[in-house]
């Protein structure tokens, strides 16, 4: 994909094309550019939470109230939200679209993220959660299909993004 847009711009555009107007989450450093981009849109409400399980509740409430919503979190947030996924989303068939950073990979130098990355995907498998990974900019247009899938299966659907996609075009990143 040849464009001057950042990864955050491209993801934002796809979320808007889904009709999503509310998001909730606790960002890790790779999600900050995307959440900052969303903050620029007065028609998109972004609720910052103290713990990721709260984002599950905010998005579930928004859905039940008729809004299109998604949650934002890192893999640590997915691990912390297992109870809500199992007893709220799965038991009551409440769909939830989750935008998540895929931590613990070769592009992630932090030891604590590696540990979470090792257990994260098997944990989601144990919960019966569906997920996909967007590793290149050309695959960002798959977001609407993933969003529709979460609605179809009436369960959480995690759309992971690599650092390369989330941080594409970001020039003021101070992390590793």
Our count of domains for the chain comes to 1
Q: How far apart are CA 78 and CA 83, in angstroms?
A: 10
Q: Is residue 36 part of a domain?
A: yes
pLDDT on residue 3: 55
Phi, psi of 109, rounded to the nearest 5 degrees: -85, 0
Question: Is 65's pLDDT higher than 70?
Answer: yes
pLDDT on residue 1: 41
Q: Are 156 and 85 in contact (CB under 8 A)?
A: yes
Q: Is residue 35 part of a domain?
A: yes
Q: Is residue 175 part of a domain?
A: no
Q: Would you place residue 27 in the very low, low, confident or very high pLDDT band (cuts 50, 70, 90)?
A: confident
Tokens of 48: 């910052």
Q: Is residue 174 part of a domain?
A: no
Q: What is the mean pLDDT of residues 14-20?
A: 98
Q: Tell me the CATH number at 135.
A: 3.40.50.970
pLDDT in tens, 128-176: 999 999 999 999 999 999 999 999 999 999 999 999 999 999 887 666 5
Question: Is 112's pLDDT higher than 60?
Answer: yes
């Amino acid at each position: 994909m040849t464009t001057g847009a950042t990864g955050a711009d491209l993801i934002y555009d796809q979320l808007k094309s889904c009709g999503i107007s509310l998001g909730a989450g606790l960002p890790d450093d790779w999600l900050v550019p995307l959440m900052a981009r969303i903050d620029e849109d007065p028609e998109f409400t972004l609720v910052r939470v103290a713990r990721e399980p709260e984002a599950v509740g905010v998005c579930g409430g928004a859905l039940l109230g008729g809004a299109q919503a998604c949650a934002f979190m890192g893999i640590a947030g997915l691990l912390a939200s297992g109870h809500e996924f199992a007893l709220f989303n799965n038991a009551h068939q409440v769909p939830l679209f989750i935008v998540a950073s895929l931590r613990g990979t070769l592009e992630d130098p932090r030891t604590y993220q590696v540990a979470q990355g090792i257990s994260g995907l098997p944990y989601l498998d144990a919960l019966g959660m569906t997920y996909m990974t967007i590793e290149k900019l050309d695959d960002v247009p798959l977001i609407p299909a993933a969003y529709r899938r979460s609605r179809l299966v009436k369960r959480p659907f995690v759309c992971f993004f690599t650092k390369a996609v989330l941080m594409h075009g970001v020039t003021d990143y101070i992390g590793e």
